[in-house]
């Protein structure tokens, strides 16, 4: 098991290229189960969650050929696909639930383990199950598995999600592509990764249109051979923007459309960052003095991304005044607070709010990662701490950030990956 050693403080400068989006790649890879013909997916990030999804597809019978750099996957589905997704694969990643929709839509049955992943709240899958049931899927829960089946093809329906859910929106869209008739999904999540999924499916011959948070899917009989390049990762880009802001650095972020993180960039401007946006590039310069920003609220897109909450909290610790942030998406996403306190942060949490004192002088310490985004907040804090910090359980980071230590080294961070003795 690996850990990071980081010597602070750092001031970053240079340029970095953003990797493909993990949260876009996962539903797109799951959706390839709908195809009879070969599919080529490009710009995949080299992270553990993608490896897990590819292993899952292979276990189901898909033939997946990866390029040498593992950024391109060519996928063929055999005539007989297995419909059993075992606990050993699904336990490590919640995104595994996304194979449920395509398996039932194409093969009329599935046995899939209840998913695992980050411990950041209940994240119930009932929205997935309820929506798929309205499309014609029957299921029971038995011994930790979802046993699902349908009597032939799924049938279009009008479905309103009781709460906006990214995963349930994705699963329902994928399943509805091959359903008979028209499906109307209301109160959908509209994250850029979902639009990327629908762009991929439409390129392959699906019939999906959007109007606000309503998605209309006209079922088709088959999807065509296609080739698609996944969008860049907006959370990775946002994380590096915070890194530049918190260190007073100067960073060019390449291979990225900044328009999809306008909300977060506007926030960083309030903290004092200077930002210039180009066609496929973003330049950001951190301030000498970070201004406090109050009343930040995470929310569904286009609100502040919950996946950026922990990074923004580190920035609030270094601001020259009090700030607070409200977490509106997950009920258990302040697990990084205890570790930030070990570095010297003064943070008080009350229910879903965190009140941050500011003017924190971080001192290096040993830290423990708890989930993907909390882990990267510890890296950011260590970068602006005095002395050495050791961050344990960085396998959380490897799930979603490609080669993060080498990217950070290139822009001036003193970071090493170490193996446990």
The pLDDT tens digits of the residues spanning 111-130 come to 998 876 444 345 578 999 99
Residue 346: alpha-carbon gap to chain centroid: 28
d(CA 218, CA 207): 5
Token code pair at residue 63? 């033939």
Distance CA 287, CA 274 (A): 7
Average pLDDT over all residues of the chain? 94
Kindly tell me if the per-residue pLDDT of 202 is higher than 60: yes
Low-confidence winner among 101-115, 280-294, 307-321, 365-379 (lowest mean pLDDT): 365-379
Distance of alpha carbon 255 from alpha carbon 20, whole angstroms:
9
pLDDT tens readout for residues 205-237: 999 999 999 999 999 999 999 999 999 999 999
Q: Which of these, 266, 228, 235, lies nearest to 253 by C-alpha position? A: 235
Which residue from 286, 332, 315 is spatially nearest to 376, judged by alpha carbons?
Answer: 315
Q: Tell me the C-alpha distance between 45 and 230, whole Å.
A: 9
Task: Please state, for a pLDDT cut of 90, what percent of the chain lies above it.
Answer: 87
Length of the chain (residues): 421
Q: Sorting pLDDT into bands at 50, 70 and 90, what band is 92?
A: confident
CA 184 – CA 200 distance, rounded (Å)? 19
Domains parsed from the chain with CATH numbers: 2-19+232-419 (3.65.10.10), 22-229 (3.65.10.10)
Question: For residue range 300-325, what is the model confidence (pLDDT) as tens digits?
Answer: 999 999 999 999 999 999 999 999 99
The arithmetic mean of pLDDT across residues 173-185, rounded, is: 98
Query: pLDDT tens digits for 48-82?
Result: 999 999 999 999 999 999 999 999 999 999 888 99
Q: Is the pLDDT of residue 299 over 90?
A: yes
- What's the confidence (pLDDT) of residue 123? 53
Give the pLDDT of residue 121: 46
What share of the chain in percent tops pLDDT 70?
Answer: 98
Q: Could you give the CA distance from residue 101 to residue 82 in angstroms, rounded to a whole number?
A: 14
* Furthest C-alpha separation in the chain: 64
**Residue bearing the bigger pLDDT, 90 or 192:** 192
Cα atoms in the Cβ-side hemisphere of radius 13 Å centred on 317? 32
Question: Mean pLDDT, to the nearest integer, of 82-103?
Answer: 90
**Residue positions annotated with a catalytic role:** 118
The whole-number pLDDT of residue 88 equals 87
Res 372: pLDDT: 74
pTM, two decimals, is 0.96
Element (H, E) at 49: helix 48-60
């Amino acid at each position: 098991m690996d850990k990071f050693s980081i010597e602070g403080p750092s001031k970053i400068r240079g340029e970095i290229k953003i990797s493909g989006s993990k949260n876009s790649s996962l539903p797109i890879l799951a959706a390839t189960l709908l195809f009879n013909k070969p599919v080529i997916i490009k710009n995949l990030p080299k992270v553990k969650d993608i490896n897990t999804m590819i292993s899952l597809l292979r276990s189901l019978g898909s033939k997946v050929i990866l390029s040498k750099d593992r950024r391109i996957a060519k996928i063929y589905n055999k005539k007989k696909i297995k419909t059993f997704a075992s606990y050993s694969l699904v336990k490590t990643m919640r995104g595994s639930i996304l194979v449920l929709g395509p398996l039932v839509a194409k093969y009329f049955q599935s046995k899939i383990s209840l998913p695992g992943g980050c411990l950041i709240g209940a994240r119930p899958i009932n929205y997935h199950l309820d929506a798929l049931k309205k499309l014609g899927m029957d299921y029971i829960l038995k011994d930790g598995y979802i046993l699902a089946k349908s009597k032939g093809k799924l049938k279009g329906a009008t479905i309103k999600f009781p709460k906006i859910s990214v995963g349930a929106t994705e699963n329902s869209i994928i399943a509805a592509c091959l359903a008979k008739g028209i499906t109307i999904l209301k109160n959908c999540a509209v994250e850029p990764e979902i639009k990327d999924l629908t762009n991929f499916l439409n390129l392959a011959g699906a019939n999906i249109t959007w109007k606000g948070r309503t998605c209309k899917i006209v079922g088709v009989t088959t999807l065509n051979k296609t080739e698609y390049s996944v969008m860049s990762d907006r959370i990775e880009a946002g994380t590096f923007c915070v890194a530049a802001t918190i260190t007073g650095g100067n960073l060019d972020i390449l291979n990225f459309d900044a328009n999809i993180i306008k909300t977060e960039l506007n926030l960083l401007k309030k903290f004092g960052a200077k930002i210039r946006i180009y066609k496929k590039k973003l330049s950001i310069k951190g301030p000498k003095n970070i201004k406090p920003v109050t009343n930040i609220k995470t929310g569904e897109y286009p609100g502040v991304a919950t996946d950026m909450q922990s990074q923004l909290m580190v920035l609030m610790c270094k601001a020259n005044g009090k700030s607070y942030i409200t977490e509106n998406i997950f009920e258990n996403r302040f697990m990084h607070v205890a570790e930030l306190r070990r570095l010297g942060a003064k943070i008080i949490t009350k229910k879903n709010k965190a009140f941050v004192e500011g003017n924190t002088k971080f001192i290096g310490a040993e830290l423990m990662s708890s989930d993907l985004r909390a882990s990267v907040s510890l890296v950011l804090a260590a970068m602006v701490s005095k002395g050495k910090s050791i961050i344990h359980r960085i396998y959380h980071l490897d799930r979603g950030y490609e080669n993060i230590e080498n990217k950070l080294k290139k822009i001036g961070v003193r970071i090493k990956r170490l193996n446990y003795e």
